[in-house]
Amino acid sequence: MRATVDRPGLDSQGRSPLIKIRRVRKGDLSKVRDVIEQAFSDFYERQMGTRPRQVFGGAQYIHHRWLMEPWGCFVAEEGDGKIVGAAVAVMWGTLGLVGPVAVLPNYQSQDIGQQLLTACQGFFDENKAVMQGLATYPYSPRHLVLYQKCGYRPRGLVVITAKSLDRREIVQTTRPAKPAVTLKRYSALEEAKKKAAILKLHRITNGVFRGMDLGKEVEIVDGLALGDTLILEKGREVIGFAIYHTPGVSEAPQGSLYVKFLAIDPKHRKPEYLHALLGALEDLAHEAGLQRVVAPVYSYYWMAYQALLERGYQMDLIMVRMKRGKQIDDEDPTNLVLDDWR
């Protein structure tokens, strides 16, 4: 029996409203942020019993992603222009990623989330994504069912780890001595050399997943000063890199340096190179007066996960990675990769 009470999400006759899905415009950004914060605040309150003071610990996901991928950002809009849902999709080369997806609490269970995901899928098809992925909450049937309806399948756990910088010296005592490598910041490169550096980083990500490219992530972090990209070199060869955010209007929670993506070239798959990058990131965080480093890891990348534990990183949050497409069995457990698909 339909309710006849006039409330948000229903018209005066108790019927579901007409919803239009369209791409995000610049003037929508603050409203989109509000929708995401309201939706996730409500979710966390239902899960934990208290409403968080800051959703995502102060991390921001919308403005820079819209600047980086404006055609992949969508809103659900009522006839009167009210924005009631939003979804963000980005392309990492041949890999398409979804998230965040949010619908205002009183508008949920009306297939709006599914409509937003359908729009994201259209964007992926336009850009010839070979595989699509996301990370969501493994303990939330609503989230899992929504994504499963759109063809996403759960694959494995993602562990968001964190290390307090008063534990900086906690490293496995048997770890090899520091390798003979050098580190550079992408932001410090001459403008004429940045394009060549992006190509070298693409060679590494292509070795992890064919066609994967994080060039746009590197450039948006540099262009908006969200953080930086550390480049690890051995001799004249680039053998690894790490994109990181620092607090402000970035994806870094308050007081934390956040590792957005890190990869060691599969041809140089040695844990000491991963330790070198992590040690440098911890030093940068300490110098910036931050309290901790946040690093995500897909549990299938077992060597990378073990390296984090050796350095004193601890579990902060558990997510589940879901995939859609033909190449979902692509992982190599020896890959030294830290990546976050949220």
Q: In 10 A of CB 317, how many CB atoms?
A: 15
Kindly report the pTM of this predicted structure: 0.90
CA separation for the pair 144, 138 (Å, rounded): 7
3-state secondary structure of 209: coil
The confidence score (pLDDT) of residue 29 equals 96
Question: Residues 200, 201, 207, CA angle at the centre, nearest 5°?
Answer: 100
Q: How far is CA 12 from CA 4, 17, 47, 83, 103, in A?
A: 7, 10, 31, 19, 20
Residue 327: the pLDDT is 66
Structural contact between residues 297 and 308, judged by C-beta atoms closer than 8 angstroms: yes
Q: What is the spatial distance between Cα 185 and Cα 107, in angstroms, rounded to a whole number?
A: 45
Q: What are phi and psi of 192, to 5 degrees?
A: -65, -20
SS3 content of the chain, % helix, strand, coil (to 5): 35, 30, 35
**pLDDT computed for residue 170 by the predictor:** 53
DSSP string, 181-193: -EEEEGGGS-HHH
Contact 203, 189 (CB under 8 A): no
| Residues sharing a CB contact under 8 Å with residue 278, sequence separation 6 or more, in sequence order | 262, 293, 295, 307, 308, 311
Predicted confidence at residue 6, as pLDDT, reads: 31
CA gyration radius for the chain? 21
Tokens of 26: 């610049």
- Are 174 and 329 in contact by the 8 Å Cβ rule? The answer is no
Query: According to the model, what pLDDT value does residue 52 have?
Result: 78
Q: What is the mean pLDDT of each run of 10 residues along the chain (342 residues)?
A: 34 66 96 94 86 84 95 95 96 96 94 96 96 95 94 95 78 55 96 95 95 97 97 95 96 96 96 96 96 96 95 95 80 93 92
Provide the pLDDT for residue 280.
96
